[in-house]
Structure formats: C-alpha cells, structure tokens
Amino acid sequence: MNYYEPLTYVVPPEQDGAMLKTLLRDRMKLSRKLLSRLKLTPEGITVNGQRRYTSARVQAGDVVEIRMEEEQSEDILPQDIPLDILHEDEHLLIVNKPAGIIVHPTHGHYTNTIANGVVHYWRQRGEKIRFRPVHRLDRETSGVLAIAKNPYAHQHISEQMQAGGVDKTYLAIVHGSVGPDGGTIDAPIDRDPESPHVRIVLPGGYRSVTHYKTVERYGSFASLVRLRLETGRTHQIRVHMKHLGHPLVGDAMYGIGAQSGNGLETAVREDAKTAEGISLDRHALHAARLAFAHPADRRPVGFEAPLPADMAGLIGRLRAHLE
C-alpha cells in the first residue's frame, strides 16, 4: 500500500496526557469522516512509528503522524494539455487557468478540461493523485485555481472557504463608468424561475456579498474593477455587476441585451455603441489572487496570476480610445 507524505505533529508540553482522538480533532483539525477513514488504514495513525488507538493517551514529545492512501481519478482520461503552474508542493497544485476551458469533465464533455491535463501531468511524474479542485471557475473565467492533492488539504481549505477565511480577489472590465470608488453589493441570489441555469438577484434568495473597488475608468465607456467575494454563489460577480448596472464586457449571459431591472443599462448600451473595440470573446473576468492558510502548517499563503493578454489588450484599446 502506498501513501502520500505523512502529516506530522509533535505533542507540546501543554498537551501531555491528552487523548489522541482529541488531538487529531482539535489540533490537526481532522474531520470525523477523514478520521474514520484513517482508523481503517493500516498505517493511518501512528505515534512514534507505532499504530495506536485513538483512545490512547499521548505524552509531550510524542510524534504523531497520519498517512493517507494514494488514490487517482480512474474516471478522468489523461490528456497532454499545457498547464501554467504557479505553485506545487506535497499538498497543493496551483494553476493559472486560461479562459475557454472548463475545470472538471461533465456529462458529454469528458476531455479538454483542466482535470484531464492535471491527471496526465501527475501520471507522467509517476504520482497517483485524485483530482480535487477546492473551488471552481467558470469556463470563460481565467486565473488562479487551487487543487488539493490529498483529502486533508481539500477538507482544510474547504472549511476555510465555508468560514470566510479565503481571500478571493478578481479583476473585471465592466461597461460604463462605475461611479463610486468602492462599495459593497449585498443582494441575495437564486435561480431564475423561468431559466434555472441563470442566476438573478431575487428577494428571499441566498445571501450574496461582493466588495468592489474601481481601479480605473475609461471615460463613460468602461471601468476596471477589483472585486472580493465574501460569499461564493454561482455567477456571483456577473450577477451583482449586472444588478449594479455595469455588466461585464463580453458576458453573453448577463451582459448588454438582457433585462437589468434598472435604468442604467440603457445608457451603458448607448455608450458601448460609440466606443470601438469594447468587446471580448469571453466575459472579462480574471481570478487575480487566492489567499488562505496552508493546510500543512497554517502559514498564510497567497497566489497571483497576471492579467491575461486578451484583457490587457482590451485595456490598451480603451486607454487609446480616450487619447
């Protein structure tokens, strides 16, 4: 049986005599599900190299290790797809996702995904790892994507996301001049009753909060906006910016032409007609930064992806339009 690299914890003096189960849950932050799985693994939980029951007591200086079995995604076809790797260690793989590619295979779409490329990359290196993205990005959204390399890392970062401890920062180019320098959009989101695949701001929907800051304005035509998600609803930024009256440039689902529910979009549409080059082959949204506590030692880490060429080119055209 092969294992991932063990996670190690040295018992400090203040925990002398503590129950191993308590230490694993409270200090190493193992979920009940993962703890149950490790109990059934031959070398899943050891103290000083020896397998121990979780009801045992530990002493100061004891070395506690947990080992998880290697596993791989048997249902994902390996495919040689170029990857822009920002960071990799024994727990995480961070990639810069290009626009136009989906993260995970779906029904009827089994190849040409980030997952296919990652599985191929790992197998070429002789690593048996299951593909576990800790979050998703829309097909047309580019930027930082985090993939956990073991169940512990996935659990740890997922819990941070649920607790609001992950900093997700995006850059977007939107239609119109976003008036205030910054603000917060606190508007509930739910499925559109008439089009279930579309999300809309809807009273009684799920609480959704987006913080934004206007970085640069291009006359009345467009603005570059930095956004930080407090919640993580599907299509949240796209829905919220449309609700604000400034839909994303290039957004086929929520962009100009759809009903916005306010009077701002008419003016935005007229401005767009007069500005040449304010277009993009996808919605202008980029996951610029992702920051959280590293699952191995809780140290703060942050990963950034540079603005892609298509969005940088659009900004160049917008600036030139003002000259």
Q: Which one is catalytic: 138, 192, 281, 310? A: 138
Largest CA-CA distance found in the chain, in angstroms, rounded:
74
Closest Cα to residue 136, out of 104, 159, 105, 175? 104
In this structure, the number of other CB atoms found within 10 A of the CB of residue 205 comes to: 16
Closest Cα to residue 87, out of 304, 255, 313, 311? 304
Residue 84 annotated to the active site? no
Using DSSP bridges, classify how beta strands 142-148 and 285-293 pair: parallel, antiparallel or unpaired: parallel
The three-class DSSP label of residue 16 is coil
Structure tokens at 322: 């003002």
Q: Is 228 left (phi over 0), alpha (psi -120 to 50) or beta?
A: beta
Structure tokens at 1: 């049986």
Catalytic residues: 138
